[in-house]
Every structure is written in structure tokens, then in C-alpha cells.
Chain A
Amino acid sequence: MLNFGMFRQSFAMSLQNIRANKLRSFLTMLGIVIGVASVIALITIVGGVTDSIMGTFGDMGAGTLTVNVYGTGMKSGLSDSDLQTLAAIDGVDGIAPSSSLTTTAAYGGKVYDKVMVDGQNAIFFVHNNIIAEGRGLTQADIDGNSLVCIVDKTFMDKVLYGSRAIGQVVRIGGYDYTVVGVKGESNSLSGMFTDTSSFDGTVIVPYRNAMRMSGQKDVTSLELYMIEGADAAAVERRVRAALSNIFNKAKSSYMVVNAKSLMDAMGQIKGMMSTMLGGIASIALLVGGIGIMNMMLVSVSERTKEIGLRKALGAEPNRIQAQFLIESVVLSVLGGLIGVLFGELIALGASAALKTTFTISYRAIALGVGFSVAVGVIFGWAPARRASRLNPIDALRAD
């Protein structure tokens, strides 16, 4: 019924109309543009942030508990014997106390005063594969409080000027440390939210050395690794019981976080966000659709005479309807495409600012374009039908 020449003519004419009424077309499309752009931007940003967070938790591993100690007036943290108690719990493979501080480092006659020192245990390296070159800390390093360190890329670039790191000697907190390993780039939460450009880099040292540098006597932060196949919930209960015992039932003095439950919660949040975004999208597209319908109704009444003429020349009602439907779909798809473009630009800017990964979601684009086609058809239907039903005699007489 609608041959290709007809379709091409309708298409070209709808572009003509859009161009002839630039401001009106722009305002009409704005609803669709904003709707699609916000949906695309939000879907991409939320996806990027949750992926980054999930990735971090994924690195932590499902069999990991994170313990943070705030302490009580009597007891500021965990002593060596407390750590042994925790390490001895049934189902626990090992514990990785950590301690961090910012201090000065000296190398090659220069002093750098914004170096992050991260104290870790040997088992941390067993469970976290972060070494790019050289080695991690061993149990012997921990037991002997060895003066060895692992440096990150920032430290290499800023302090060691990219020279071969392993074997270099750096003075940290008054002691000469030998570099034994280099840490690879990681996509971690702390990396996401801190601006590393103002730091001179990070060095990882045996945790007791770090505690000594900061004058910290007790451990306040640790990761606890479970034996593979252990009942995570049972282990978590036993750890909580042990901590409750250590801190005399003062529950607010410590916090235990389970990576898996966090991931589940994140998954739930992501699901809720998706539903919410769907809601926002439908409201935005409804508003945009009403705008399109309004413009099409105006267009039909402005072009009554043209419709009459076309009918006189032999256009069947369904051709008139198709012509106006094509116009409304072109209008809304144009809006949708502009919306996709803006949405991706916003998402790109946001991911750069938040340091999350930016991936073009083809599903989101397909969704945006598909929705705008649907909006064009649904909201163009009534005006197109009205046009197709005009009486040619009355329409020709109109002015």
C-alpha cells in the first residue's frame, strides 16, 4: 500500500516540516530528548558505579569478613592475643590486620611528604592478587618486621622516576626500606573516591612497622579470610561472639562487614534503581509523547488544505495516516537519537568525574530508540487518524 517512493517522499517532507518549524520542533522534541538522555545517563552511571563497587567486593572475595574496631574507653583495639583468638576461630584461614598513615619518604636526596603507608599481613597477598612485579610480603617479613616494601605505580612515577623499582632503597619514617615488589593498578573503591594526584604514592610494609610509625598500639582494622567451603554465616556468628567477648559486649565498638551480604544489598539497590529509572523514563516519555501529539494536532489543522488536496489527487485515507505517522515517528526518533547522544555524553562526563568505567550500553541505546519509536507511533496515531478522516471538500475549502 505504501510504496518506497511514497515513503521516501513522506520522510523527506517530514524533515522539511521539522526544518521549517525549527523552534517548535525543537521544543516538541525536548521532552523526548530529556527523557531519553536522563534514562541513558542514569542507567550508564548507575551501572558503572555498581559494577565498580561490585568489582571491589568481588576482589574482597565472598569468603571475607572486614572488621573495623572503634574501641571503648578501656580498650582501643585488638592486641596480639586478641588477633590469635580470632585467627584460631573454627573456619578462619587467616587474618590480615592493616594500618595506614601518611608520612615522609626520602629518595635520591629529595623528601616527599605525602606518601601513603599501608601496613599489611602476609596472608593479604595470598588472597589479593595485586603484585605486578617482584613479590609480596611473606610470613618471614611479618615475623621479623623486615624493612621491605611494595610500591605502587604512582610512587614509581613520582619518587623513583620510573627507574627499575626492585632493589631500590627508600627511607620511610626514618628507616631504610628495600623495594621487593610493585603493585599493579587496581580498580578499588579507595582509588575511585580519592584523588591520587595529590599523593606521592603508596608503599606497603609489614603491618607492625606501619603501626610503629603511627604510634598505634592495637589493631583497629583487619580482614578475615575463611577456609574455602566454610559456612560463612556460622563463621561470622563465631567472629561476632569472639569480638563481643573481647569488647565486653560493647557492640558499638566494632563492626563486622560481610562482603557477600554487601554484594547482595548492592544487587538489591541496583534492581530498585532500575525499577525507579523505568518509572522516571515512562513519565518523561509520556510527557514527551503528549508534546508530540500536540505538535502533530497543530500540524494537521495547519495543513488541512494540503490534506484535502492530497485526497483529491488520490491519496487513500491510510496513506494520509501513514504520512502523518511517519512524521511523528521521525520527530520522536530524532529526539530519541539526540537524547541518546546527550545521555552518553553526560554518562561519559560522570564516569570521568567518579573514575568509574564507562561502557556504552547498547541495550540502553536500543531501549531509548525503541521507546521513541513507540512514543511516535502511539502519540502520532490519533492526529494521523484525524488527518485521514478529514472530508476532502471541507479540507480543500479551509484556509
Chain B
Amino acid sequence: MMQAAQGKKAGDRILEMRGITKDYVLGEETSHVLKGISLDVRQGEFLAVLGPSGSGKSTLMNIIGCLDVPTGGEYRLSGRLIAEQDEASLARIRNREIGFVFQQFQLLQKQTARQNVELPLLYANMPEKKRRARVEEVLCRVGLEDRMDYYPNQLSGGQQQRVAIARAISVNPTVLLADEPTGALDQKTGGQVMELFHELNKEGRTIIMITHDRHIAQHAGRIVRILDGNLSEGDIEDA
């Protein structure tokens, strides 16, 4: 039913970062937010990027998610160099390679669960019949088969995040990129969301999760720590 991103075998290197820097110029001052980050992510990994606020983890997430381009260094996603791409092709790369899961769910309030999940498929130009079937498939996968025509405000936080996860996996992206996915949920529903992540990972899906919470990060198979714009492998206690 649910298979990992097409054409990729477990262990293939899908994300490659070499000496990534990101500078922000504010007036006369330049702040170096990322100071040469190198990172490899392989197909089927569940990676947590752990870091406090201000560590540069949001900037790193934006670059991984192709919402932003690095100032220096080389970033390859599925072998493609993400640099000097124009806005339109970045949008297409995001559509096909990245499935975003946000802390605040980011669902369109005036659209049903079904319509929200349909959005990336519309941007991927999937034909209507296939699209409808796929929407139902992923909503069933996250356990919302009886909530498909509900609006976000008729759903609990956990259910809303499940809709967002269904939306993220609908186009079968290379990477599921989650930004503090349990940040707006209580411990119990947060745990359920993490359980879902585990299942998706077991099915072969690559997951990168950005978080400041060590307990949440423990769910991942691999943890990298970001502090002051530098990346290091392993949790603090491992260091």
C-alpha cells in the first residue's frame, strides 16, 4: 500500500550537505547563522535535528525544505544541486521531494480534511480520479477514514496533525520534514503522532524532524545536535 519514495533503495544517500553557510545581512552587520554544516541523510533514516531556539535549526530546516537557499556550500537533494534554482523550480522541488509537517499544523480552515490533503496533489497535476483515490488512501493510513469531510475546527489537535501528515505523505515525497510536530499537542496525542512517525519510518519513509525537545528527539534512530550554527553528531549525553 504505502511504499517509500519511488526508485530509491534503503541506504541510498538522498540528502547531501557540504559546508553549508547562511548569512543574514542586517544593516551593516552580518550574522552568520549557519557556519559550515555538513550532513548526509540516507533513504529510510529517521533523523532528529536537536537544538535550542536561536541555534539556527529553523534556518537549517528552511534550507533542507528548499524554502531558502544557502549562502555558501553545496546542497544536493536526490542528487540535484539546490542552488541558483529559480522560485518556480524550487516550488516544484518542494512539491515532489519534501512533505512538510508544521508545529501549528497549517491547515486551510475553510477546506475539509480531504481538500487540505488534495492541495499538493493538485500542484503536482495529478489527474482527478487518481488524486481522489490517493487522498482517501493517505487519510485512511493516518486513521481518519471517518473524518475526511470534517473541517479543521471540527477536529482535535492530534487529528489536525494527522491531516497534516496525510497531506505531507500524499505526493510520496523523498523526505518527510517535520518542524516541532508535537509542539502544539499534549503529551498523549504527541506520543500518538510519534508512534505514527515510527510506523511510517518502518514502512521505509525517510523522516527529518527538527525539535528542541530531547525526549521527542529520542524517538529518532539518529540524532544530530545543532548549536550556534554548528552541527555535531549525537545527543549531548553521547558527546
Known: A310-B119, A393-B67. A316 touches B110 (CB 8 A): no
**Quick check: A313 and B119 within 8 Å, CB to CB?**
yes
Docked pose: A392 CA to B110 CA in angstroms: 20
**Which residues from A are CB-within-8-Å of B62?**
393
B92 interface hit (Cβ, 8 Å): yes
Flag the segment in A3-11, A92-100, A370-378 that touches B.
A3-11
Known: A9-B122, A306-B108. A312 touches B87 (CB 8 A): no
Flag the segment in B124-132, B195-203, B212-220 that touches A.
B124-132
**Quick check: B67 and A314 within 8 Å, CB to CB?**
no
Which of A4, A20, A312, A315 counts the most chain B CB atoms within 10 A?
A312
**Quick check: B88 and A313 within 8 Å, CB to CB?**
no
Choose one: B65, B91, B122; the contact of A6 (CB below 8 Å): B122
Choose one: A306, A312, A314, A396; the contact of B124 (CB below 8 Å): A314
Q: Closest residue to A399 on the B side, CB-wise?
A: B104
**Quick check: B91 and A316 within 8 Å, CB to CB?**
yes
Majority secondary structure, B binding face: helix
**Quick check: A316 and B125 within 8 Å, CB to CB?**
no
Q: Closest residue to B106 on the A side, CB-wise?
A: A309
B16 interface hit (Cβ, 8 Å): no
Docked pose: A13 CA to B68 CA in angstroms: 28
**Quick check: B106 and A316 within 8 Å, CB to CB?**
no
Choose one: A311, A312, A314; the contact of B96 (CB below 8 Å): A314
B56 interface hit (Cβ, 8 Å): no
Interface set, chain A 13-27, CB cutoff 8 A to B: 13, 16-17, 20
**Quick check: B88 and A318 within 8 Å, CB to CB?**
yes
B225 interface hit (Cβ, 8 Å): no
**Which residues from A are CB-within-8-Å of B120?**
313-314
Interface residues on chain A, number (Cβ under 8 Å) = 25
Annotate A309-331 by CB proximity to B: 1 below 8 A, 0 otherwise: 11111111111000000000000
**Quick check: A316 and B87 within 8 Å, CB to CB?**
yes
Known: A312-B65, A392-B67, A393-B68. A317 touches B88 (CB 8 A): yes
Docked pose: A317 CA to B96 CA in angstroms: 16
Docked pose: A9 CA to B124 CA in angstroms: 14
Interface set, chain B 101-118, CB cutoff 8 A to A: 102, 106, 108, 110-111, 115, 118
**Quick check: A16 and B95 within 8 Å, CB to CB?**
no
Residues of B within 8 A of A (CB): 62, 65, 67-68, 87-88, 91-92, 94-96, 100, 102, 106, 108, 110-111, 115, 118-120, 122-125, 128, 131, 167, 171
Q: Which 5 pairs from chain A and chain B are nearest by CB?
A: A314-B95, A314-B123, A316-B88, A316-B91, A313-B120
**CB-defined A-B contacts under 8 Å, sample of 26:** A4-B128, A9-B115, A9-B118, A9-B122, A306-B108, A309-B108, A310-B119, A311-B67, A312-B65, A312-B67, A312-B94, A312-B106, A313-B95, A313-B100, A313-B119, A313-B123, A314-B120, A314-B124, A314-B171, A315-B95, A316-B88, A317-B87, A319-B123, A393-B62, A393-B68, A396-B67
